[in-house]
Chain A
Amino acid sequence: MIISYVTASAGQNFWSNFFVANRYVSGSIIIIIYIVIATVLAYLLSGYIANIYLGTKTAMDRISGPIVAAFEKMLGEDAKRDMDFREYFSTILVFSLFLGIIGFAVIYFQHYLPFSFSNNHMTPSLIFNTVASFLTNTNLQHYSNPFDLSYFSTTFVITGFMFVSAGIGFAASMAFIRGIISEHGKIGNFYHDFLVSEFYLLLPLSVLLTVILVLSGVPQTMSPYITITPVLSHVSFRLPLGPVATLEAIKNIGTNGGGFYGANAGFPLENPNWFTNLVELEAFMLIPLASILSLGKVFENRRFARMLYGVIMAIFIFTAFLSFFGEMVGVPAITDLGMSFTGNMLGKETAIGISQSTIFSVGATLTSTGAANGALINYTPVGIMGPLLDLLLNDPLGGVGTGVLNIFMYVIFTVFITSLMVGKLPEIMSLKIGSREIRYSTLSLVTHPLLVIIPFGITLLIPNMLSTFVNTRPDQITQLLYEFGTAAANNGSEIGGFLTNQAYFNYLDGVIMLLGRYLLMGFQLLIAQSFSYKKPKVQVMRTVDPGSFMFGFSLFFVMILLGLLSFFPILALGPLLAFAKAFNLFIAGVVL
């Protein structure tokens, strides 16, 4: 079963024969290579990120320092004072609201603005959804990208917001870490943090990535659409080119995930070959993973960072291989015909293949990227469980910055429970965890499932809401769960399977995305605020060691038990039922 033979492709070399013949083995090795490269790159960047978190000297001081200083001078007093939670968070909200309104206006009036080659019109609900989506680092795309948006809108709202949302996320994590370190109740200055995130981290890395992508064949132009009439065809179609590489760079570096083209990284111009596939995955894993690893230097506890890395990677490896094997086993209907060696190639780019597709989509939901290089709707029920479980866990590795905030919430619960079990009062980084921190952690813990389940239930209650769905019922449940899961987790990965561009879904998803981002960030920064008054202990090793294997083990189970298990009844009627019935998610109909 595991080893399938492809006799036709027999070559001379033993190893190439072996890898072609044993696709489970070669696929697994590819997945492991992806993870190893991600780890190495993240490790290399982690020291730099730690310096940013600690506010110490970095390699970019000479280039980025003057730019940040110039902006701060322009802002005047606002950029100087230390803020407490209330001020910091309200600045984030006001800043986001201000940008949201501008973004809305730009798209609404895009015909009157330059670089508009399109006559397409976006409804207010779709604009709201799009603006909310890109402002919250979600990049759920209910529009069909290159046709609905002008180049100006794409550059300003899409690419611009990608920078802004990732910057806000990273600023929040800077504030969070400062809250833990500081003792005077202040968590830093938002403007400063935001500028530092942009000019020290996001811009340099994006420029680097743009160059790599352009060299690998991704277009970067302001030229209008190309009209192509394929040979032997009497139908011509328009192929939009545009500033693809820049968008692609920040899409991945900023864990955004909204592609230039509707098919996202599955479109050859966004992701031309295996190399860009690797580059893009490593790019979106880079900052979240490096931020986690940097905590070792930040808190002077490398074992803690290693433990977090281990737990997150355990989840990554589990979901990646679940998805990989789910896809490799394939669709019963086709396997039964004796074509077991193919696996489920439906909806996948043949140049990329199953292993690189599954690791890409699982990686995209492990982080809050949500990019896709294949059609998730064609995944088998087991294959889709990989990305879905990560979504329901609220992106275990998180987005730029937000990953640190999310994992800390689970760490706080784990510390709480394990400390009690050894008869100590809970403390993390030598800071006491009181009822206040647990209350805020609980609020942020329940926010995600409630944001998923409540809209899910409401939608099912509304008659005819399921009328645009084309798959069988269990698949519809999976798709609906995925839709709200991706919105609440600010991920942006999509199965689709129904008409998403309806006013109902546009508004509902928009609200979920906003709440999933700002409500959660608010609760998490409140935790930081309450830590910021506490003085750390001098000695640390008198309680449960948060770097130990037992702690990591507990953290893993706390994540599963508190974060994931509550979705079990829905999963039972969704993918688990579809799996049992040998239902499959592939379709005959057309999805808009």
Chain B
Amino acid sequence: MNKYLEIVYYTFRDFRPDRLFRNPVMFVTEVAFIVSLVFTIDPASADLPSYFPYSAFYVSTTVMLFLTIFFSNLAEAVSEGKSNAITASLRKMKTNIIAHVKTESGIVDRPSGEVRKGDVVLVYKDEIIPVDGEIISGSCYVNESNITGESRPVMKVQGDSVTGSTRLVTDSAEIRATSDPGESFIDNMIKLIGTATRQRTPNEIALAALLSGLTLVFLVISAVIFPMSTALGVSINIVMLIVLLIALMPTTIGALLPAIGVSAINKISEFNIIAKSGRAVENAGDIDTIILDKTGTVTIGEREAVKFYPNNGIDYGEFVKMCAIASLEDMTKEGISIVNLARKEGISVSQEDLGNHDFIPFSAETKFSGVKTEGHQILKGSLRALKAKLGLSDTFIEALCKEISMRGGTAIPVVRDDRFVGVIELNDLLKPGVKERLESIKSMNIKTIMCTGDDEVTAEYIAREAGIDEYVANVTPMDKYNVVIREKEKQLMVAMVGDGTNDAPALAKADVGLAMNNGTPAAKEAANMVDLDNDPTKLLDVIFIGKQILITRGALTTFSIANDISKYFVIIPAIFFVFPSLAYLNILGLSDPLLAITSALIFNTAIIVVLIPLAIRGVRFVPTTISELLKRNLLIYGLGGVIVPFIFIKIIYVILAVAGVAW
């Protein structure tokens, strides 16, 4: 459907009373609209005067009420249109392709829609991956540009997860499907965006309750004017009372509230993050503590070997060779970089050179990896882990490690059999711009905790360089969970980024858990947001958006309620124009009561249109101290909310009067 037609369709669909009922302010407005429509058509039914100025007044009131609802619906429709566009583009990615499924009777070709969880599929070069899954053998480059927008293919190795509908560009891989048809990542994302935009957050519910309460009071107060004026011996035109009611009700925030809610999810989506609920976005705004991984978030993360340091009495070339052998089958980025550096030094080893061997893979628990050949065992990994494992100590190596750590590098000692043979220096750089971002986080009073597998010294160095408040060094996956729990016990709101299966419990426990799209399915399941671009620093953007949403809601509510002061001073003297002595309340000096009331109503309607972009885009947010922010927003939206309507109602009135609308 055409984008604009869709918006128009939504706008009119939402006129249905059963849909408006969710939003009491707009529902009352619609009832008022219907009542005033009846009076416009047949003023005699309520004994209303039907001659000229009044008839025009009824028509303009009816039109304005219609427009109020129309603009409210329009704001929501524009937001909804945006989120529909997002789901539509996600849906487009889902293509039905043929999967080569490995079965007992050989390889069978099946449509991707029939691949079940646990099936193993083969994907060759230049084929599209048919399902979400995990690579069980092979390594390859995958182009994920249709999800992340990043055109550079990413390297995937055994154990990495891949997303269906991305393209394999090199080699081939065996993939075990991790989801059933209809439950793939993209299917889930489509569903999530759908429900996330519909579910109201606790804050929205609270605000809606307050607005309903105010609406009820204004409804009663407008109604009571009727018997009161009768007691005073004057009759009040009921259409004027309808205008009073609509003007007093917080229509501005009432009209824009749904749009703000939908736009939260949309804005997050613009950053290529899928939020599973609006609540998570709101929570993000209130984060007290962020738990960051050092690697990938604070530092670039692609740690590269830069130098070899052999131990005393070890030949340099021999040492480099040992390092290369130990890393030959280590498919981590560090491992590959060690082999590459060795090659640059002129030493290359191949599988054949090793003969019969066993590779000892790296694990987060042991913190070392290596290789076992005939006669020798070469291990590399964390100093502490190796010392503990082998019961070794070597003052030279330890001093060397400390020195490397102190300048921010990572030292990887290498052990052959039962002796330290040297140290490999890996270097890692702070991400460009991360310091400034952490600075602005700090100014918002958010504590940062950095988790790293490195030793204390490196962790402290990096933390100090980047301006991080706290660090946890030598972390095991359990530690991360414990940090989350510790912060949660203080009733603080915790955000964290994670990608591994080990991170899943911590992600689930955190108030805002941002998982990386290339992370494990378990992590993505546990988190309440998934970043398609795999950029952990985007957590900071999420926090910004969360704050912006809250501020937008608060600012528009304040503005809407503050507007009432001016409306009282315009409409009350106009309604009671029969008491000339009340003219001292008419501080704007609007001499024509019908025109004054109409001007107030026009302002009331027009302000919604003016604020739609603000509601969808969000109030500008500059990170600063809380009291500064409060002062600034109170000034703009509180004081502004009192003064602005006075000015604009007067301007509208003058324009109408000059244009010759003489009632």
Contact = CB atoms under 8 A, between A and B. Distances in A.
A134 interface: no
Given A545-B626, A576-B582, A580-B584, A420 B213 contact: no
Given A421-B551, A425-B203, A572-B576, A442 B210 contact: yes
A114 interface: no
B285 A425 contact: yes
Of A442, A453, A535, most B-chain CB atoms within 10 Å? A442
Contact of A446 (B216, B233, B492, B633): B216
A538 to B, nearest CB: 4
Interface string B225-256: 11111111100000000001000100000000
B86 to A, nearest CB: 24
Contact of B220 (A413, A418, A457, A477): A457
Contacts of B283: 425
A41 interface: no
Given A421-B555, A457-B227, A566 B221 contact: yes
A66 interface: no
Contact of B631 (A437, A460, A550, A569): A550
Contacts of B227: 457, 460-461
B221 A567 contact: yes
Interface string B116-155: 0000000000000000000000000000000000000000
Contacts of B630: 418, 421-422, 544, 550-551, 554
Contacts of B221: 449, 453, 566-567, 569-570
A432 B548 CA distance: 19
Interface residues on A, range: 35 or more
A537 B286 CA distance: 13
B638 interface: yes
B627 A550 contact: yes
A417 interface: yes
A573 B621 CA distance: 44
A445 B215 CA distance: 12
Contact of B224 (A418, A445, A570, A576): A570
Of B213, B223, B585, B638, most A-chain CB atoms within 10 Å? B213
B491 A538 contact: yes
Nearest to B624: A422
A417 B231 contact: no
Of B210, B218, B558, most A-chain CB atoms within 10 Å? B210
A423 B627 contact: no
B585 A576 contact: yes
A535 B224 contact: no
A424 B285 contact: yes
A10 B49 CA distance: 65
Interface residues of B, number: 72
A456 B220 CA distance: 11
Contacts of A137: none
Interface in B131-184: none
A457 B222 CA distance: 10
Contacts of A476: 231
Contact of B585 (A432, A435, A562, A572): A572
Given A421-B558, A425-B203, A572 B213 contact: no
B210 to A, nearest CB: 5
Nearest to B202: A435
B339 interface: no
Contacts of B557: 417, 420
A548 B627 contact: yes
Contacts of A454: 220, 224
Interface string B545-586: 011101101110110011011001000110010010110110
B626 A422 contact: yes
Given A421-B551, A442-B210, A572-B585, A543 B626 contact: yes
A442 B212 CA distance: 9
Interface in B315-374: none
Contacts of B576: 572-573, 577
Secondary structure at the B interface, as helix, strand, loop or mixed, is helix
Interface in A534-568: 535-539, 541-545, 548, 550-551, 553-554, 557, 561-562, 565-568
A568 B222 CA distance: 11
Given A423-B546, A536-B491, A473 B232 contact: yes
B46 interface: no
Given A422-B551, A474-B232, A537 B210 contact: no
A535 B492 CA distance: 11
Contact of B210 (A425, A438, A550): A438
A577 B206 contact: no
Nearest to B492: A537
Contact of A434 (B206, B231, B585): B206
A430 interface: yes
A477 B231 contact: yes
A568 B546 CA distance: 37
Contact of A450 (B216, B228, B637): B216
Interface string B618-640: 00010000110111011001100
A60 B286 CA distance: 45
A176 to B, nearest CB: 20
A301 to B, nearest CB: 16
Contacts of A442: 209-210, 212-213
Given A418-B630, A456-B224, A542-B445, A561 B562 contact: yes
B68 to A, nearest CB: 21
B491 A535 contact: yes
Of A466, A535, A557, most B-chain CB atoms within 10 Å? A557
B220 A423 contact: no
B478 interface: no
B218 to A, nearest CB: 7
A576 B202 CA distance: 41
Contacts of A234: none
Interface in A458-487: 460-461, 466, 473-474, 476-477
Contacts of B657: none
Given A537-B491, A544-B630, A561-B561, A443 B550 contact: no
Contact of A423 (B492, B573, B581, B629): B629
Contact of B213 (A445, A550, A573): A445
Given A413-B210, A438-B206, A460-B227, A542 B561 contact: no
Contact of B223 (A420, A449, A457, A554): A457
A461 to B, nearest CB: 5
Nearest to B201: A435
Contacts of B230: 460
Nearest to B224: A457
A572 B220 contact: no
B217 interface: yes
A517 B572 CA distance: 32
Contact of B633 (A422, A439, A541, A545): A422
Nearest to B642: A557
Interface of B: 202-203, 205-207, 209-210, 212-214, 216-218, 220-233, 244, 248, 282-283, 285-286, 288, 445, 490-493, 546-548, 550-551, 553-555, 557-558, 561-562, 564-565, 568, 572-573, 576, 579, 581-582, 584-585, 621, 626-627, 629-631, 633-634, 637-638
Smallest CB-CB A-B distances: 7 pairs: A420-B554, A423-B547, A438-B206, A460-B227, A538-B490, A580-B581, A421-B554
Interface of A: 413, 416-425, 430, 432-435, 437-439, 442-443, 445-446, 449-450, 453-454, 456-457, 460-461, 466, 473-474, 476-477, 535-539, 541-545, 548, 550-551, 553-554, 557, 561-562, 565-570, 572-573, 576-577, 580-581
Given A416-B210, A577-B579, 10 more contacts: A416-B206, A421-B630, A421-B633, A422-B629, A425-B203, A425-B283, A425-B550, A446-B214, A545-B627, A566-B218
22 contacts: A421-B558, A421-B633, A423-B285, A423-B551, A424-B285, A425-B286, A443-B213, A449-B217, A450-B216, A453-B217, A457-B226, A457-B228, A476-B231, A477-B228, A538-B491, A542-B445, A551-B630, A554-B634, A569-B568, A570-B221, A572-B573, A573-B579
